[in-house]
Structure 1
Amino acid sequence: MTSEFIAHVAEDEIVSSDLLDMSVTVLKTLSDPARLQMLWALSTEDLSLSDLAQLVGVSSTVASQLLSRLRTAGVLQTRKSGRHVIYSMHDERSREFIRQTLDFARHRLELQDKA
């Protein structure tokens, strides 16, 4: 690498620490298979706690803990429907990110299978 290249990177392409911190938070949030499965389901439709617990195969208590982490991270929102709390993705960009993440993983698996 030349010093000119390094200077260019230093000026134009260094990621801010705030953006890095948020990226790490997002990736850590996705790092649990059960949370990612819930997000995948929620990327297509809004679901109740009991629906999500059944889908992932965990108790309602465990599902609630998983969903709490996603709400804290700002990925999910809730609304009441009678006695039930309905979970949904915060916005379309979040839905698309989950779809793209899993599509990328599918692509990597296909490459791995070809090797």
Structure 2
Amino acid sequence: MSDEICDCETDEFVGKIRRGMLDDDTIFDIADLFKVFADSTRVRIMWALHESEMCVRGISKSLNISMSAASHQLKTLKDADLVASRRSGKQVYYSLCDEHIEMLLSTALAHIKEEKRWSASSRSRWTALTAPRRWRRPFPRSPGYRMLRWISRPRRCT
């Protein structure tokens, strides 16, 4: 073994990374933001609001979910400052807070589309080339196990 260290292990490099690191509160805020995106119903609601401002009933009908489920998810989105609301008479209309949320959704969609560009055949070829070969040993008393024992039996040289 050599005592060489990689460039990313030098004190200068590590110091640069540490100086550029976000503070813990900001890191936790970012993690909390992405936790909100972890629920598919909330993402569907945000995508619908990306298209147009809507009331709870409109969201419920558009996404085929109950009004209580829509209302519950909208409260979570509103608490995370992702969705804004405005009252018009008895109706409450919801919309995305700002263009940053739209950018997050658009960026996520672009990332997913880019990932799907890989065709199934090229992906399977890539997997076949890079994946470790896995081989399961057959269960005892199965034909495969008996065949394995016969093949791997010690042979005598004659």
TM-score for both structures, normalised by structure 2 = 0.66
**Per residue, is there more helix in 1 or in 2?**
1
Q: Measure how far apart 1:110 and its partner are.
A: 2.5
Show CA shifts across 1:70-103 (max 9, x none).
0000111111223321100111222222221222
Maintained 8 Å contact 1:43/1:99: no
Q: Which runs of 5+ in 2 are unaligned?
A: 1-8, 124-158
Tell me how far apart the structure 2 counterparts of residues 55 and 109 of structure 1 sit (CA, whole Å).
Answer: 26
Tell me how far apart the structure 1 counterparts of residues 58 and 114 of structure 2 sit (CA, whole Å).
Answer: 29
2:39 paired residue among 28, 32, 36: 32
Tell me how far apart the structure 2 counterparts of residues 26 and 76 of structure 1 sit (CA, whole Å).
Answer: 12
Question: After the TM superposition, which parts of structure 1 deviate over 4 Å for at least 4 consecutive aligned residues?
Answer: none
Matching residue of 2:140: none
Secondary structure of the equivalent of 1:54? helix
* Larger Rg computed on CA atoms: 2
Tell me how far apart the structure 2 counterparts of residues 111 and 21 of structure 1 sit (CA, whole Å).
Answer: 33
Show CA shifts across 1:3-44 (max 9, x none).
221122112x21211221111111001110010011011112
Matching residue of 1:76: 83
The number of residues matched between the two structures is: 114
Show CA shifts across 1:40-72 (max 9, x none).
111121011111112222100011001000000
Distance 1:105 1:86, change over 3 A: same
Q: Does 1:111 align with 2:118?
A: yes
Amino acid at match of 1:70: L
TM-score for both structures, normalised by structure 1 = 0.88
2:97 paired residue among 87, 90, 115: 90
Maintained 8 Å contact 1:42/1:87: yes
Q: Which runs of 5+ in 1 are unaligned?
A: none
Matching residue of 2:133: none
Tell me how far apart the structure 2 counterparts of residues 49 and 22 of structure 1 sit (CA, whole Å).
Answer: 27
Matching residue of 1:8: 16
